[in-house]
Chain A
């Protein structure tokens, strides 16, 4: 083996070794790398319900109700297979709305409802001008594609 080959092998071996160990670590700690759990995963018991976790999904159409004279909001987070009712007291981000994605951090109650301490809006990867959005809305009035 020439010195040049040795250096090539050294670099390849170090990179491969680190890649394999990082991949193993990420697979082993997959649950910790996920930012949120979907309602279906929560219903299936995959979320760490003994401690706080984040619930992510779509705010169901027509589910948002605000309590008169307070900042408390109740809504349903859905992934179109399962739904979880959420209650939250506080300020909501501008993009929050029915049919929009949210990530809520909080605790699951024994009755299956979710108390959120923080609600973030999750923007999707679609960008379009208002006219296009209106045209899409007319074509699919249900809101979901």
Chain B
């Protein structure tokens, strides 16, 4: 039964709180280092694009943000579904603290896309473009999840109802990813995730991969710290939190 012991430990708020306390500084430091390396690589080492000139460098923020926006949604929806099915409160806590982070990265992807779109395409926004609109729907799904969860007086009820919305929204994830293949869009097709290999020069690709890693570490750090705060809030009436806050002096 040792397999299940591990599973139960990960559902135990005090254990996860202390695990996050140990992991967060390392992940945070690694994220800062990777961000610095990726920024230097993207802004200084990578050559300008043959067509877009220096303007292409927004890719080093846009693509990682869009990736985290999607990945965070899958994390949030999986956690919410686990919480719904197995009644694990900690899983609901993970979903709750992921939503604002995912929404922020999705907004960043939309914003950097618009800033890039004006000089390159000639427009900030194009209604009717499947990629743009499905990404906007992703932002609304995050906001809807947050609103729905907070509109119940009882936290448990809000968690359960919002979990269904989060799970349903997963349908949008493949739509966003494949929108540029299924329909004609203004947004270009995939550069990196192609069957015949990335259509980007290696010296431009390496900083992008570093930035994607850095954003992932940054996301993990944000989730760990937010999860700690969420756990403290949800468990504020328990003995272990009381002992933690008073330094065990009670």
Contact = CB atoms under 8 A, between A and B. Distances in A.
A1 interface: no
B130 A128 contact: no
Contact of B171 (A18, A33, A95, A120): A18
A138 to B, nearest CB: 13
Interface in B151-201: 163-164, 167-168, 170-171, 175, 182-186, 188-191, 194, 199-201
Interface string B39-62: 000000001111110001001000
Interface string B189-218: 111001000011101100000000000000
Most chain B Cβ neighbours within 10 Å, of A15, A118, A127? A127
B85 interface: yes
Contacts of B25: none
A38 interface: yes
Contact of A127 (B59, B84, B185): B59
A17 to B, nearest CB: 9
B221 to A, nearest CB: 29
Contacts of A126: 191, 199-200
Given A8-B85, A11-B85, A133-B51, A93 B184 contact: no
Interface in B57-110: 59, 81, 84-87
A132 B50 contact: yes
Contacts of B130: 33, 35
29 contacts: A4-B86, A10-B164, A11-B85, A11-B163, A18-B171, A26-B175, A32-B128, A33-B130, A33-B183, A34-B183, A35-B126, A35-B185, A38-B184, A95-B52, A100-B51, A120-B123, A122-B121, A122-B188, A123-B51, A124-B188, A125-B190, A125-B191, A126-B200, A127-B56, A127-B191, A127-B201, A129-B50, A130-B47, A130-B50
Interface residues of B, number: 44
Nearest to B80: A11
A128 B53 CA distance: 10
Closest 5 CB pairs of A and B: A93-B122, A133-B50, A129-B47, A127-B200, A130-B50
Contact of B186 (A33, A122, A130): A122
Q: Provide the main secondary structure of the chain B interface.
A: loop
B167 A120 contact: no
Contact of B168 (A8, A18, A128): A18
Interface string A47-74: 0000000101000000000000000000
B36 interface: no
A14 B126 contact: no
A94 B120 CA distance: 6
A4 B171 contact: no
B241 to A, nearest CB: 28
Contacts of A36: 184, 186
A14 B160 CA distance: 14
A108 interface: no
Given A35-B126, A35-B130, A11 B119 contact: no
Nearest to B180: A125
A119 interface: yes
A15 B167 contact: yes
